[in-house]
Amino acid sequence: MIDTVLIANRGEIALRIQRACRGLGLRTVAVYSEADADAAYVRQADTALCIGPAPAARSYLDQAAILFAAQTSGAGAIHPGYGFLAENAAFAERVERAGLVFVGPSAACIRAMGDKVAAKRAMRRAGVPCVPGPDEPLPADPAALRAVADGIGYPVIVKAAGGGGGRGMRVVEDPARLLDTLALTQEEARGAFGSAAVYIEKFLAHPRHVEIQVIADRHGHALWLGSRDCSLQRRNQKVIEEAPAHGIPDADVAALGERCAEACRQIGYSGAGTFEFLYDAGAFHFIEMNTRIQVEHPVTEETTGIDIVQLQLRVARGEALPLTQDQVACRGHALECRINAEDPDSFAPSPGRIDDWAVPGGFGVRVDTHAGPGYRVPPYYDSMVAKLIVRGSDRADAVERMRLALSEMRVGGIRTNLPLHRALLDDPGVRKGGVDIHYLQRWLARRAA
């Protein structure tokens, strides 16, 4: 029986996991780098162990140090959060081999979904709709390659099989450029991901980013917990997320959700996961599966009333899912703004000491953050300092609540993207909803002009 969980992460998600553990009566072990030694959540853990100096490669990515900390502290499970080691199959394997529970899917599942071509093949088998394009390794013969791209229809996109998160991809509009672009992407993929394998898909010009949250137990049950729209992105980094995806027929989302749950059952998935899709002209196209909890999970928690992180822990310790699909409902609408320590115009990072801090509150407002007055945002990690989440009776209500919450929030001493969020919540396109994944880049270009 697991009674102690090591949290192999930092920042807001470390605190989020700590709270979920406490709600279940589990003891927590915080591991931290020297840069995070003064963080409040580290002090609040039942046990706290320093695992190395500030650079992540020598602390939060140091597998041996984390495993040693787990053994020393008597932790029975390791929750990886998101980022760092969350989708590292080798780490999951080491955790399992050490006789500990990895709070997430099996190493085999992580590995299969990490290979984008293998993932696509698995999804097709489960009837999950994919972007047009082959799910087999590409032929080497130039004429056969051209035939593949012609069969898909231009423009096509060349992607690294080991990539993801928007990295390692190139669009080809002109058939004459296909072979050059393939060679270039292969070279880059070899350098960046350690594998030159690439694949080709249809390039969708104006899609939305829509995703399905799933949760599966170790007894063959899987549920889908609704849709999210994360189309407001800058350089593939999500800025504002919402649940549910606005303006898509419920029946379409339900049909897709059921396919995703079925895919989980087929591949023997357990834990929380997200199926990401491009939504274009009324059709969904699978792009990748994230085999971890995501930053934006709170919008789904707010609309379903389900504590997803607690559910992760419960299925990790072997419990069956405590509810069935017909007990999962989506009520109202939720929005999340990622508050980053960065210049709202230039996006230059702005680490440093927070000397003024006021967070909004009231009905339907939630702030997930590890920061506070006097907190020094370290320069070593990502720039997110808080997630501001609101829920409304419908989308318009949620938008108005978010505007009010943003007007109440104050962060001084560092620069944040709060002014950007305020401007976006005033933008007619954002207020109307359903914008595509390039909307924010166009909006920023217009603003800069």
- The residues of the shown chain that bind another protein, judged by CB under 8 A, are 54, 341-342, 348-352, 379-383
* For the chain, the helix, strand and coil percentages under 3-state DSSP, each to the nearest 5: 35, 30, 35
The amino acid at 397: D
29 touches 5 (CB < 8 A): yes
Q: Which is nearer to another protein, 268 or 349 (CB)?
A: 349
Helix (H, G, I), strand (E, B) or coil at 358: strand
Find the catalytic residue in 208, 259, 292, 338: 292
Q: Which is nearer to another protein, 12 or 229 (CB)?
A: 12
132 touches 202 (CB < 8 A): yes
Structure token digits, residue 259: 């396919």
CA distance 449 to 445: 6
Residue 347 CB, nearest approach to another protein (Å): 9
Beta-carbon-side half-sphere exposure of residue 378 (alpha carbons within 13 Å): 17
Q: Which is nearer to another protein, 376 or 422 (CB)?
A: 376
Residue 383 CB, nearest approach to another protein (Å): 4
CA distance 36 to 244: 35
Count of CB atoms situated within 10 Å of the CB of 355: 12
Residue for token pair 């949250």:
213
CA distance 145 to 138: 7
* Angle in degrees, CA 118, 120, 123, rounded to 5: 110
Residue for token pair 């909307």:
439
Q: Which is nearer to another protein, 39 or 334 (CB)?
A: 39
Q: Is 292 a catalytic residue?
A: yes
Structure token digits, residue 143: 């004429």
CA distance 280 to 284: 7
Residue 447 CB, nearest approach to another protein (Å): 21
Q: Which is nearer to another protein, 54 or 184 (CB)?
A: 54
Helix (H, G, I), strand (E, B) or coil at 407: helix
Helix (H, G, I), strand (E, B) or coil at 445: helix
Q: Which is nearer to another protein, 352 or 433 (CB)?
A: 352
Q: Which is nearer to another protein, 59 or 73 (CB)?
A: 59
Residue 201 CB, nearest approach to another protein (Å): 28
Residue 352 CB, nearest approach to another protein (Å): 5
CA distance 391 to 397: 8
Length of the chain: 449
411 touches 418 (CB < 8 A): yes
Residue 66 CB, nearest approach to another protein (Å): 21
Question: What is the biggest distance separating any 2 CA atoms in the chain, rounded to whole angstroms?
Answer: 63
Q: Which is nearer to another protein, 327 or 346 (CB)?
A: 346
Q: Phi-psi region for residue 66, left (φ > 0), alpha (ψ -120 to 50) or beta?
A: alpha
CA distance 30 to 39: 11
Residue 344 CB, nearest approach to another protein (Å): 15
404 touches 46 (CB < 8 A): no
Catalytic residues: 292
